[in-house]
Every structure is written in structure tokens, then in C-alpha cells.
Amino acid sequence: MNMREIQKMQQKLMKMQEELEANLFTGTAGGGAVTVIMSGKYEITSVKIDPEAFSADDIEELEVMVKAAAKDAHDRVTDAQQKLVNSATGGMKIPGMF
């Protein structure tokens, strides 16, 4: 692989990364009782909690579900990042990239 091909790949990867960062990923827990929306930059943009699903006595359960929904969203962003890198590099490992 020559330098020009590497530069082209880097430009393609940067464009794909920008597109990924603009996307939103939804994580859920409790069958949709808790929803966390996260950007491709791993920033939580929204947290929705179904008030019908919890009572004041369920706060501990709610905390666990918020954490689980955030992890679900985080995992979706990570998966998308990995797919982006694999598609841009053809699965080839390039030092210094993610």
C-alpha cells in the first residue's frame, strides 16, 4: 500500500467518522421502560423514563435500568465504530487508528 492509498483511506475514514458522530444511537432497558439516546461521540443526548413503569419504591431498579440503557447505547456506538473501521480498512489493522 503506497502513501497515496493510505491518505485516501484516512480521508475516507475521517468522513465516515464525522457521519458516525452525527448519528444517534438508542439504548433501552426494561422492555423500553428506560431509553437512552447517545450520539456517535458517546454523548448522552436524551434519557426517557416511562413514569408508568416505576413507583417511588422502585428507584433502585430504575437506577440499574438507566445504567443498563446507557451501556446498551454505548455498545451500539462502539459496534458502529468497529464496523466503520473494518469497512474503511478492509479489516486490516492500521497502527494509531482506534
Q: Which amino acid is at 97?
A: M
Nearest to 52 by CA among 73, 26, 34, 70: 34
73 neighbors 44 (Cβ within 8 angstroms): yes
Q: How large is the C-alpha radius of gyration of the chain?
A: 18
The answer on pLDDT for 36 being more than 90 is yes
Spelled out in words, what is the top-level CATH class assigned to the domain 22-87? alpha beta
Distance of CA 26 to the CA centre of its chain: 8
| Average pLDDT score over residue span 24-31 | 96
**Predicted local distance difference test score (pLDDT) of residue 74:** 97
The answer on pLDDT for 91 being more than 70 is no
**Predicted local distance difference test score (pLDDT) of residue 23:** 94
Maximum Cα–Cα distance for the chain, whole Å? 63
Which range among 41-45, 67-71, 88-92 shows the weakest confidence by mean pLDDT?
A: 88-92
Distances (CA, A) of 62 to 29, 79, 97: 10, 26, 37
**Predicted local distance difference test score (pLDDT) of residue 54:** 87
